[in-house]
Amino acid sequence: MPKNKENHIWLKATILFVIIFLSFYLHVTNGMFDMTIPDVVKTLFGMGDNPKFSLVIFEFRLPRIVIAILVGVGLAIAGCVLQGITKNDLADPGILGINAGAGAAVSFFMLVFQFNASRSDGSEWLKIMSMPLFGLVGGVLAAGIIFAFAYKHGRLDVERLLLTGIAINSGFGALALYLTLKMSEKDFEIAALWQAGTIYNANWAFIVAMLPWLIILGIYIYRKKYLLDYFQLEESTIVSLGINLEREKIKMLLASVGIVSACVSVSGSIGFIGLMAPHIARQIVGIRHRFVVPFSALIGAALLLLSDFIAKTIFAPSELAVGVVVSIIGIPYFLYLLVKAR
């Protein structure tokens, strides 16, 4: 890579890190009561003498910030994989119904085991660690149905993929609603909020539950990033390179579904991050997935962290679900991409 281009890449990455840091600063210093930077620094390094600051930062704000970053990274990487596999900039885990499949499975888990993620204090470790597994089953089921109907004459038909995804999204969304209606009135209200996408009750147990999925599958996807470049070629060309096309697509798809399921299990169904982040990344660094994947992760983290800050503060002391804020941003962006694609 030319030195000048490499410097530009590092500059753009630095700008994204600055945006994430500023979002972190806004998030950690603002809330029900404001804190100054010296207060935050002293508390983080154990030099503060105010127990309220320690409680607010370590039990409420810091877990929420970490979850927002991890979920943003995970959804962005998954969206990057789906867009690479389908060769379509409009592909997204939410639009294709994978979020809804995972969400329906987690709703079933909440109903059967009488567990509500949005009300958990993090003490029920076994249930918290089991939620991503149920989400994976639902996500894989949704993806399997979608891709089974999307294949035509042994090839993936993009139009069928989007249409089937929209139908599956509606179907699993209806199933999730039916399951939540079986809950008690109080549990239904909280489950409905969770399904809209929320991380206000984030805690360290949720981070521990999703982190292994994100690390292991994220590393796998990054190691296989070159395949996403090959997937942009004609299928006959890919096969001539000695790549087992369908097997590699299935592996990458399962990895992305695993990440989405882990994210959905701790944050509910948050759409459009997987749509916007990879597209913005390609606008910034080009089409090589060596750069698109990590830049998508940074952009996803920044988008969700900023959106959660807006959700927390715009109607304070009440809160919006972060999924609503992301949708307000994402729907116009999706329509813009749709018009551009035409």
> pLDDT tens for residues 310-332?
988 887 777 888 888 998 888 88
**Is residue 128 a contact partner of residue 206, using CB atoms and an 8 Å limit?**
yes
Q: How many domains does the chain have?
A: 1
Q: Could you tell me which residues come within 8 angstroms of residue 255 by beta carbon, excluding any fewer than 6 positions away?
A: 81, 217, 220, 221
Q: Which of 91-100, 229-238, 249-258 has the highest mean pLDDT?
A: 249-258
Residue 114 or 148, more confident: 148
pLDDT category of residue 297 using cuts at 50, 70 and 90: very high
Give pLDDT, residue 13.
92
Both structure tokens of 162: 């989007």
Q: Could you tell me which residues come within 8 angstroms of residue 114 by beta carbon, excluding any fewer than 6 positions away?
A: none
Domain CATH number, residue 302: 1.10.3470.10
Q: Is the pLDDT of residue 3 over 70?
A: no
> pLDDT tens for residues 29-88?
887 777 888 888 888 887 767 788 888 888 888 999 999 999 999 999 999 998 988 887
- Considering only the C-alpha atoms of the chain, give the largest distance between any 2 of them, rounded to a whole number of Å: 68
Give pLDDT, residue 115.
65
Element (H, E) at 155: strand 155-156
Q: Is the pLDDT of residue 228 over 60?
A: yes
Domain range for 256: 3-341
Give pLDDT, residue 119.
53
Mean pLDDT over residues 295-307, rounded? 94
Q: Which of 89-103, 189-203, 216-230 has the highest mean pLDDT?
A: 216-230
Mean pLDDT over residues 181-209, rounded? 79
pLDDT category of residue 305 using cuts at 50, 70 and 90: very high
Q: Is the pLDDT of residue 18 over 90?
A: yes
Give pLDDT, residue 218.
94
* Cα–Cα distance, 279 to 82 (Å, whole number): 12
Q: What is the dihedral of CA 117, 121, 125, 129, to 10 degrees?
A: 30
Both structure tokens of 120: 């958990």
Both structure tokens of 168: 């599956």
Both structure tokens of 249: 């697509």
Q: Of 30-34, 99-103, 268-272, give the lowest mean pLDDT range.
A: 30-34
Give pLDDT, residue 4.
67
Average pLDDT, the chain: 84
Q: Is the pLDDT of residue 5 over 80?
A: no
Q: What is the DSSP letter of 58?
A: I
Q: Is the pLDDT of residue 299 over 90?
A: yes
pLDDT category of residue 341 using cuts at 50, 70 and 90: low
Q: How many CB atoms lie within 10 A of CB 147?
A: 20
* Cα–Cα distance, 234 to 193 (Å, whole number): 43
Q: Could you tell me which residues come within 8 angstroms of residue 166 by beta carbon, excluding any fewer than 6 positions away?
A: 95, 97
Mean pLDDT over residues 124-134, rounded? 76
Mean pLDDT over residues 201-230, rounded? 89
